[in-house]
Amino acid sequence: MFAHQIELAEGVGQTGWEKSSLFDILAHRKDREGLHGQILFDGSSPPDSFKYMVGYVIQTDTICKTLTARENLMFSTNIRLPGEVSYEECVGRVTKIISDLGLNSCADTRIGTEFIRGVSGDERKRTCIGMELVLAPKIFFLNEPTIGLDATTARNIMQCLSKLSTEGCEMYYHGQAKDLLDYFSQQGYTCESHDNLADFVIIVLIDVNQKADTLEKLHLAYENSSMNKSIMELKRQQLVDDHFARRTNKKIT
């Protein structure tokens, strides 16, 4: 997986493909003993404090249902930000997040329980996202943020995430989504107009994983594709830019 700054990337896969474990590893939330591979952040190994630079919204909403949206955000701010951050700064950060996530109308409404009427599912999920945004994370992982939501609510959440990604937070198909249809079409797989793109990709991957010769054919086709070459060139350029930036900063200091 390779992602640029200000980019919304998506990991797709069938249930049981250990997507959550992959995210846990990338976010430094799982012991990597016995694992192989390399994780780079800005071209270098992540620092020891990396997990504190990462926002992570898990599948299950971790939120106090008897508090309001604003109170949940303040609670997250108080327990997760360094002690030297002033109360005024915490309030300012929470106020901005409420505005950015479109929570102004429900900021002082309780989240709600089985016995207390509260916010909508959309607003609840956005509050969970906000509880991670208080860290001002460099990278933001969301594990199935639309699970259990209806189509309209899921769309609202994805529009919100897309807006956030354009404002400077990286979100974690290896390649551009717009190239997917052309690539698979060239390999003999056609996505009908009424099909969901993510479901189409998963069905294709399930199919080819059951046929070793087809899987090898797709693998070779991807390695030789212009899409892969473009990604490798972007990665090479990113590493060059990172190296130049580090040398420049070293000279300045």
Q: pLDDT (tens digit, 0 to 9) for every residue of the chain, 253 residues total?
A: 445 444 555 565 555 556 677 777 777 777 777 777 777 776 677 777 777 778 888 877 889 999 999 999 999 999 888 888 899 999 999 999 998 888 999 999 999 998 989 998 889 988 998 998 888 887 888 877 777 777 777 777 777 777 776 665 555 434 455 566 777 777 777 877 777 666 677 677 667 666 777 777 777 777 777 767 776 776 677 666 665 555 665 555 5
The CATH number of residue 98's host domain is 3.40.50.300
> Are 148 and 191 in a shared domain?
no
> Are 127 and 61 in a shared domain?
yes
pLDDT at 6: 42
- Domains in the chain, number: 2
> Are 231 and 113 in a shared domain?
no
> Are 188 and 163 in a shared domain?
no
> Are 204 and 111 in a shared domain?
no
Structural domain that includes position 235: 176-245
What angle, rounded to 10 degrees, do the helices at 121-133 and 87-100 form?
140
Q: Which of 151, 172, 193 is the last residue of a domain?
A: 172
> Are 164 and 75 in a shared domain?
yes
Q: Which of 141, 172, 203 is the last residue of a domain?
A: 172
> Are 87 and 165 in a shared domain?
yes
Q: What pLDDT, in 10s, does the model give residues 18-46? A: 667 777 777 777 777 777 777 777 667 77
> Are 136 and 23 in a shared domain?
yes
> Are 150 and 198 in a shared domain?
no
> Are 136 and 193 in a shared domain?
no
> Are 117 and 241 in a shared domain?
no
pLDDT at 151: 75
Q: Which of 126, 150, 172 is the last residue of a domain?
A: 172
pTM for this structure?
0.61
Q: Is 46 a domain residue? A: yes
Q: Is 122 a domain residue? A: yes
pLDDT at 108: 95
> Are 142 and 69 in a shared domain?
yes
